[in-house]
């Protein structure tokens, strides 16, 4: 907070938004280059989602989900499970954000084995550089020391590996202690947009099947079209045992999350002593469900997924134009997600932050991960907006590193 509170620092107050454009307190306009921290899908102020929220607001904003239910939640659960092959993910559990969606998946996996004859399966396997959220339970699976804070292996055992090869090298007994493996499929976001090798996800699914270990996919960032498919797991034809959805679930308008799971896991919680004691006050907020249903409607009505191959190709060619710039080390892209790594710099110099600050003057808002610049526009982005975003980054890179 020292820099934030310094007299020369001018806080940016974002006041309005329309499509990919945000406006500050002085009326200056910026392109939302990271979808308001990876949440926004169809742009700001989308009329269909706004109308759905207003309509819901006039009925009721929120009612308890403890012991009750409501139509928007029922319809949303049905629409979410219908994205997956029949008889795979069939059940939805609501919570509030990405961290609680992960929290819930971890606790389900651990409790599932404890009360169904395998109490020795008490460990969660996670990958180096992983990020699964900031609550203690989710942070315990994180593999980025910077983001772990005090959340260091809280309350359950974790085992961390760098990659699939290390999984195959586990001793014979180690897999028998695993309740679940958790992974960000295809791309690790907070690690700086690190791509997994092609085929890794499908191979991991096979490994989990071989050892009867539950596979949790954290699609909090990758879900809802970012990678080119509705969910990243579809790209390798994989269905997990649990999937965590949040950020883009409501189109990025309201906080809301869902953890989907299989009939097998669901049935493991039937019975008096088997209750899943987990829930939050705002679970299945009616407004959030209405927004999520409207966002899915926009996907259908505007044929959003169909528009992505063209947009992604345009994004790729614009990113290619950045490759030759001074100090651009590597560009990593997965669908409409890109990480532009610059350097080598001493990370303490915060060069990535300096580039993003310079880009602000050229009308682009985004946030780096150390020295990786992130571009992840809302999916409604036009080719001219993509062009303006990459041009702003180019000018900023030349100013700071040139
Ligand atoms: C952002 C993120 C989370 C945490 O979500 P919050 O809504 O910020 O709690 C978890 N996993 C991944 C992959 C994320 O990108």
Ordered domains of the chain (ranges, CATH) = 2-32+303-401 (3.90.1150.10), 51-301 (3.40.640.10)
For residue 151, pLDDT over 70 is answered with: no
- Confirm or reject: Cβ of 96 under 6 Å from ligand 1: no
Residue 118 host element (H or E): none
- Confirm or reject: Cβ of 184 under 6 Å from ligand 1: yes
pLDDT (average), residues 311-324: 97
For the CA of 138, the nearest atom of ligand 1 = 10
For residue 348, pLDDT over 70 is answered with: yes
Give the burial class of 211: count Cβ atoms within 10 A of its Cβ; 0-12 exposed, 13-18 middle, 19 or more buried: middle
**Of all protein residues, whose CA lies closest to atom 7 belonging to ligand 1?**
98
- Confirm or reject: Cβ of 218 under 6 Å from ligand 1: yes
pLDDT in tens, 88-126: 999 999 999 999 999 999 999 999 999 999 999 999 999
pLDDT band at 153 (very low <50, low <70, confident <90, very high): low
Tell me, in angstroms, the distance from the centre of ligand 1 to residue 182's CA: 13
Query: What whole-number distance in Å separates Cα of residue 361 and Cα of residue 289?
Result: 37
**Of all protein residues, whose CA lies closest to atom 8 belonging to ligand 1?**
98
For residue 155, pLDDT over 80 is answered with: no
For residue 154, pLDDT over 80 is answered with: no
Among 59-63, 150-154, 315-319, whose mean pLDDT is lowest?
A: 150-154
Cis peptide before 22 (omega within 30 of 0): no
Contact 105, 262 (CB under 8 A): no
Tell me, in angstroms, the distance from the centre of ligand 1 to residue 151's CA: 15
For residue 147, pLDDT over 80 is answered with: no
φ, ψ (nearest 5 deg) of residue 400: -85, -40
Beta carbons within 8 Å of 241's beta carbon, 6+ residues apart? 109, 180, 208, 214, 215, 216, 261, 262, 264, 265
- Confirm or reject: Cβ of 97 under 6 Å from ligand 1: yes
For residue 161, pLDDT over 70 is answered with: yes
DSSP string, 20-44: TEEEETT--EEEETTHHHHT-SS-B
Considering only CA atoms, which of 102, 95, 94 is closest in space to residue 124? 102
Among 75-84, 130-139, 164-173, top mean pLDDT goes to 75-84
- Confirm or reject: Cβ of 127 under 6 Å from ligand 1: no
pLDDT in tens, 353-369: 999 999 999 999 999 99
pLDDT (average), residues 187-213: 98
Neighbours of 260 (CB within 10 A): 27
- Confirm or reject: Cβ of 102 under 6 Å from ligand 1: yes
pLDDT (average), residues 255-264: 98
Testing ligand 1's pocket by substitution, the residue of 131, 133, 257 carrying the most ligand atoms inside 8 A of its CB is 133
pLDDT (average), residues 153-170: 87
Report the share of the chain in percent with pLDDT over 70.
98
Tell me, in angstroms, the distance from the centre of ligand 1 to residue 220's CA: 5
- Confirm or reject: Cβ of 241 under 6 Å from ligand 1: no
The overall average pLDDT reported for the chain is: 95
For the CA of 100, the nearest atom of ligand 1 = 9
Testing ligand 1's pocket by substitution, the residue of 37, 98, 224 carrying the most ligand atoms inside 8 A of its CB is 98
Tell me, in angstroms, the distance from the centre of ligand 1 to residue 102's CA: 8
402 vs 162, more confident: 162
Q: What is the pLDDT of residue 297?
A: 98
Q: What is the pLDDT of residue 92?
A: 98
pLDDT band at 326 (very low <50, low <70, confident <90, very high): confident
For the CA of 255, the nearest atom of ligand 1 = 7
- Confirm or reject: Cβ of 95 under 6 Å from ligand 1: no
- Confirm or reject: Cβ of 103 under 6 Å from ligand 1: no
Q: What is the pLDDT of residue 141?
A: 87
pLDDT band at 150 (very low <50, low <70, confident <90, very high): low
**Of all protein residues, whose CA lies closest to atom 11 belonging to ligand 1?**
132
Contact 360, 318 (CB under 8 A): no
**Looking at residue 215, what DSSP letter applies?**
E
Q: What is the pLDDT of residue 143?
A: 85
Tell me, in angstroms, the distance from the centre of ligand 1 to residue 98's CA: 4
């Amino acid at each position: 907070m020292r820099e934030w509170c310094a007299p020369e620092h001018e806080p940016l107050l974002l006041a309005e938004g329309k499509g990919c454009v945000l406006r500050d307190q002085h009326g200056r306009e910026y392109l939302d280059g990271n979808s308001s921290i990876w949440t926004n899908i169809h742009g700001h102020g989308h009329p269909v989602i706004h109308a759905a929220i207003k309509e819901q607001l006039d009925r009721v904003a929120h009612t308890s989900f403890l012991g009750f239910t409501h139509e928007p939640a029922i319809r949303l659960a049905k629409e979410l499970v219908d994205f997956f092959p029949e008889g795979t993910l069939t059940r939805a559990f609501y919570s509030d954000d990405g961290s609680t969606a992960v929290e819930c998946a971890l606790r389900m996996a651990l409790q599932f084995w404890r009360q169904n004859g395998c109490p020795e399966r008490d460990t969660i396997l996670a990958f180096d550089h992983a990020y699964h959220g900031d609550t203690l339970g989710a942070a315990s699976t994180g593999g980025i020391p910077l983001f772990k804070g005090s959340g260091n292996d809280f309350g359950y055992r974790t085992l961390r590996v760098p990659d699939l090869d290390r999984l195959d090298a586990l001793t014979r007994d180690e897999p028998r202690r695993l309740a679940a493996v958790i992974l960000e499929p295809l791309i690790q976001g907070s690690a700086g947009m690190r791509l997994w090798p092609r085929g890794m996800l499908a191979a991991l699914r096979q490994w989990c099947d071989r050892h009867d270990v539950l596979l949790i996919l954290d699609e909090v960032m990758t879900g809802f079209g970012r990678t080119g498919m509705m969910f990243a797991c579809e790209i390798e034809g994989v269905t997990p045992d649990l999937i965590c959805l949040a950020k883009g679930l409501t189109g990025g308008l309201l906080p809301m999350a869902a953890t989907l799971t299989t009939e097998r896991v669901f049935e493991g919680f039937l019975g008096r002593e088997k209750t899943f004691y987990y829930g939050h006050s705002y679970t299945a907020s009616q407004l959030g469900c209405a927004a999520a249903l409207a966002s899915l409607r926009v996907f259908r009505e505007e044929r959003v997924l169909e528009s992505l191959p063209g947009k992604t190709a345009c994004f790729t060619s614009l990113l290619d134009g950045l490759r030759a710039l001074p100090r651009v080390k590597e560009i990593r892209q997965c669908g409409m997600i890109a990480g532009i790594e610059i350097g080598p710099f001493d990370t303490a110099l915060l060069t990535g932050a300096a580039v993003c600050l310079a880009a602000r003057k050229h009308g682009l808002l985004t946030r780096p991960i150390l020295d990786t610049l992130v571009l992840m526009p809302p999916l409604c982005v036009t080719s001219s907006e993509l062009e303006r975003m990459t041009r702003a980054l180019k000018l900023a890179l030349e100013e700071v590193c040139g």
